[in-house]
Structure 1
Amino acid sequence: MNFLGKTAVAALAVAFASEAAATEWNVSVWGKRRAFTEHVEKLAELVSAKTNGEFTMNVSYGGLSKNRENLDGISIGAFEMAQFCAGYHRDKNRVVTVLELPFLGVSNLEEEVAVSKAVYAHPAAAEEMEQWNAKLLMTSPMPQYNLVGTGDPRDTLAEFEGMRVRATGGLGKAFEAVGGVPTSVTATEAYQAMESGVVDTVAFAQHAHLAFGTINQADWWTANLNPGTVNCPVVVNIDAYDMLSDAHREALDSSVDEALDHYLANYATLLEKWDSVLAEKNVAKVEIDEAVLAEFRAKAADPIRDAWIADMEGQGLPGQELYELVVKTLADHRASN
């Protein structure tokens, strides 16, 4: 073989080596880019930068799967990473639903990150996710949910009686405990449900009221109901994770906290603007009386928590231990700050 031939073979070998070193992941989320997906976008940016473009993520907003089917897609390897919300399929992710119990007392996003990390790290959570070939990577921390509604504000428990509310998971159970009629239509269906009168009210975090347009249907918003929130993990396919090179795995793992920090900073900016959004859209800000909140907590918090623990223990899961882990993590987080 002449020199040119050897050079061509060497160049081809380098090309093949470079191709083999490249990793491309598909990531399934839904809706549109918003505060709820900023950590996923930041993660993709960081990983690409740390690997000089050798590890890239294609974030797809609904093009790969329906939001209720993302965990199924992960289980069969249809894509490598996905976001989902526990309330969409409570039977598939029972452990993390502890984070959706009403009135847990989580007061900010930093605390939500802390309790989520603790629960995700529990062996029961990892074991349950393994059934879906999924590894919990990071949470999508959201503030306490609050209602938007049409017509006269509903600011007493008597007015919650018969109220058709879009609320999933533990939030749905909380409203049911005071006579509400919860429906678990997906986030992308909420605007239409409100517009058509299928629901009277929608429970969302602020970003979702903006992103999915429910704020545009609203006459009022409850500023301080704060019944709880939903938990929405980002997971990766275990096989895909295990196939990463050490360098690419390190790039992914080391970027999680930074991606979450970016998410928190971005969300803080959104919250600062929230009052001006309400004013711009002529949505009344409703403050619920403390006595009403206390009555709501009494009817919803303890009974639903006790029922959840009994249900989990009956299925062989450490329900009491998981609840106590959340309480302890909250206390420890506050003590360290």
Structure 2
Amino acid sequence: MKTMTATATAALTLAFASEALATEWNVSLWGQRRAFTEHVEKLAELVEERSGGEFTMAISYGGLSNNRENLDGISIGAFEMAQFCAGYHRDKNRAITVLELPFLGVETLEQEVAVANAVYAHPAVQDEMAQWNARILMTSPMPQYNLVGTGEPRDTVEEFDGMRVRATGGIGQVMEAAGAVPTSVTATEAYNSMESGVVDAVAFAQHAHLSFGTIDIADWWTENLNPGTVNCPVVVNIDAYEALSDEHRAILDEAVGEAIEHYLLNYAELLQRWDEVLLEKGVQKVQVDQAEIARLRGNADPIHQAWIEEATSNGLPGQELYDLTVQAVADNAPE
């Protein structure tokens, strides 16, 4: 019977050790690869490259969970990383919904990142996420939402009255205050809802109007309504994060900044092409009069105050979180 040489034994031991050190994370997204997911794609690329292939991410677009259940999946360890939007389940992530309040005054994606990071760092946010075994890794910055719709353009508060609109979070609230009828159908359901006439308009950022096809059947787009945006963090399962080797955890953490920078550059290119898309699709650009926007903005203050009171009643430092958000918006205003 032949025995293994010392060299062969060492090689086999090294192979087993390498295999044991290899880590693959499952990542739950939805829809398709688009500007909204580019930072996750870039993160996976950087992590694999910098770990020499020992830490990889298998990204799934809807194959692991639907978008409303990604936080639940993280909580039970069904996958290690996921993206979700706060407006899909406000009761599960009340603290970060402060970032979805209407007319906060955020002007750029860079400012959006800074404001989100300030809020994510608050202990109340971290504690609430920990209830779902989740740790926020990074945000998914999106520009101010605007409406695409069918039929005649709607550009006054009176014309919003009775309008059925796909709008979540604070955007839905401010539209409701103007008499519209908001619905929170998911992004993947928006096209069918608009095509079938279930909704008259859809509030999205530009990338989503492109990715989910709403721009293809739209007649008009509000160029400057800018009522707010939604907040969609990327989270990791705490147990999986803590189980990483020190080296892999450092690689992951250090790749976040570069992934966000890639996202911002990619989104800037998309915005440069937006006018061409509207022209190609035959979509009318609608400029809403500043007096009408002011009327809408006047509905925001009671919504902000109601958020503070509700958050406080739920045991959160509502005023503190709100003040932190407003201060972060001011501190990071573009020059």
* TM beyond 0.5: yes
Shift of 1:7: 3.2
Partner of 1:304: 303
Structure 2: distance between partners of 1:46 and 1:10: 30
Structure 2: distance between partners of 1:330 and 1:178: 25
Structure 2: distance between partners of 1:310 and 1:148: 32
Partner of 1:86: 86
Count of aligned pairs between the two proteins: 335
| TM-score of the superposed pair, with normalisation by structure 2 | 0.98
Structure 1: distance between partners of 2:173 and 2:331: 28
| Equivalent residues of 2:104, 2:329 under 8 A apart | no
Partner of 1:118: 118
Partner of 1:38: 38
Report whether the alignment pairs 1:169 with 2:160. Answer: no
Structure 2: distance between partners of 1:331 and 1:315: 27
Deviations 1:217-267 (A, max 9, x none): 100000000000000000000000000000000000000011000000000
Structure 2: distance between partners of 1:196 and 1:332: 44
Structure 2: distance between partners of 1:330 and 1:105: 7
1:153-164 pair list within 5 angstroms: 153-164=153-164
Partner of 1:278: 278
1:76-225 pair list within 5 angstroms: 76-225=76-225
Structure 2 counterpart SS, 1:334: coil
Deviations 1:302-337 (A, max 9, x none): 0100000000011110111111111111222238x5
Deviations 1:34-88 (A, max 9, x none): 0000000000011111111110001100000000000000000000000000000
- For 1:206, the aligned partner's letter is Q
Shift of 1:21: 1.0
* RMSD between aligned residues: 1.1
Partner of 1:49: 49
Structure 2: distance between partners of 1:10 and 1:46: 30
Structure 2: distance between partners of 1:330 and 1:172: 21
Structure 2: distance between partners of 1:60 and 1:105: 34
Deviations 1:132-187 (A, max 9, x none): 00000000000000000011000000000010000011111111011000000000
Structure 2: distance between partners of 1:331 and 1:305: 17
Runs of at least 5 residues in structure 2 that lack an aligned partner in the other structure? none
Structure 1: distance between partners of 2:292 and 2:333: 27
Structure 1: distance between partners of 2:98 and 2:292: 24
Shift of 1:3: 6.7
- For 2:333, the aligned partner's letter is R
- For 2:314, the aligned partner's letter is Q
Structure 1 counterpart SS, 2:332: helix
- For 2:166, the aligned partner's letter is R
Structure 2: distance between partners of 1:151 and 1:332: 41
- For 2:318, the aligned partner's letter is G
Structure 2 counterpart SS, 1:317: coil
Partner of 1:242: 242
Partner of 2:317: 318
| Equivalent residues of 2:98, 2:321 under 8 A apart | yes
Partner of 1:64: 64
| Equivalent residues of 2:106, 2:333 under 8 A apart | no
Structure 2: distance between partners of 1:321 and 1:79: 33
Shift of 1:2: 7.0
